[in-house]
Copies of this chain bind each other. A is one copy, B any other.
Amino acid sequence: MGQLVENSQPAVTNISKASCPCILENLSVVFKVKAPDAKKVQIDLGKLYDMTKDDQGVWSVTTAPQVPGFHYYSLVIDGVKVADPASESFYGTGKMSSAIDIPEKGADFYQIKDVPQGALSSKYYFSKVTNGWRRLFVYTPPGYDVNTKEKYPVMYIQHGGGEDERGWAEQGKTDIILNNLIAEGKAKPMIIVIANGNVSSGRSIGGYSSAGMAGFKDEMTKNIVPFIDKNYRTLADAKDRALCGLSMGGGQAFYVGLESLDYFGSVGVFSSGIFGGINNPIGKEFDADKEVPGLLSKSQSFNEKLKLFYVSVGEQDPRFEFTKKAVKKFQDSGLKVQFNSFPGDHEWQVWRKSVHDFASRLFK
């Protein structure tokens, strides 16, 4: 759609040159699509919006004001959910999905700035767990190529359900966030490993439990960590390794991280549903001491090994109250935990802030 809407900004998530979807000053979004022969066209942005057709066959709608952050959405054409051709696509919700990034006033921690730039590389490795080649991304901090004697701590960070290794690389803007944090002196220069947590083969039986995550644990500890330690200049010990993740990846960090403290000295759990909330994946009251044996009853032994145990969640996320309750139990048992929350629901702006916050507390 060529015409600009007055007092609007094309979304940064649009494909090159697309002027719509565009964002009004009140953060309402105007969507447009040409579909003269369709009977019904809608936008599914969490809430479903019916679009109306003009005499040129262009359907449009102006949504209610949106919360700042990164929202997946679909175009629904005569009942079929598809990506909007005007948007970039991102692997999320189990498919290549459109998304709109609503800017947050004053928040520029995830914008590219004129600071030393690290690099984000893709690498292939052979997994003995899934018996195939897999891709991961590796962030190396500014100076990595030049300071060839220096070794770095490593953060391993996992995506959510219906996403893959592209999540933290693209939606999450992890490289940009770390470039900025390191330039400000707020985070240690570190390597970040962004792997694919969808490990369906091996010992994994699926689900949120130690047994369910056995395949992922094998993948992480037997394939990925050794591959990274072999191919990058890492500080190869638990105190210089962290495992964190969002939603499903937060569950993985919780179970696999806390049960592999010989590998990971720091664990970060962002917006996990394991503590409760809608679609509580464990389907029962969360009993931390049972899920990770001894976590509450032998909290001191965890405190001794854990340099940092971090939990975060969005304040409008249905998981918020459940997460706070779980954190309180951790604290009551004497388990050291650092907790933070951010405005927002279950979406990437909260996770960008989570990695920004977690990385700034790590390896200190």
Contacts and interface: CB of A to CB of B under 8 A. Distances in A.
Interface stretch (A83-91, A275-283, A338-346): A83-91
Contacts of A148: 148
Given A38-B78, A78-B35, A121 B124 contact: no
A45 interface: no
Contacts of A88: 96
B96 A85 contact: yes
Contacts of A87: 96
A134 to B, nearest CB: 10
A67 interface: no
A228 to B, nearest CB: 12
Nearest to A96: B89
Nearest to A18: B95
B96 A114 contact: no
Contacts of A114: 126
A352 to B, nearest CB: 17
Contacts of A96: 15, 83, 85, 87-89, 96
Interface string A31-52: 0011111111000000000000
Contact of A85 (B95, B120, B124, B176): B95
Residue among A34, A35, A78, A138 having the largest count of chain B Cβ atoms under 10 Å: A78
A220 to B, nearest CB: 19
A140 to B, nearest CB: 8
B121 A119 contact: yes
A123 B118 CA distance: 7
Contacts of A80: 33-35, 37-38, 77
A40 B38 CA distance: 9
Contacts of A36: 79
A9 interface: no
A81 interface: yes
Interface in A223-257: 231-232
Cβ-closest 7 pairs across A and B? A37-B79, A119-B121, A89-B96, A121-B121, A82-B82, A89-B89, A38-B78
Given A16-B164, A35-B78, 12 more contacts: A15-B95, A37-B80, A38-B80, A39-B39, A39-B78, A77-B78, A77-B82, A81-B85, A87-B96, A114-B126, A120-B121, A145-B232
11 contacts: A37-B39, A38-B78, A77-B80, A82-B85, A83-B96, A117-B124, A119-B123, A119-B138, A121-B122, A145-B231, A145-B232
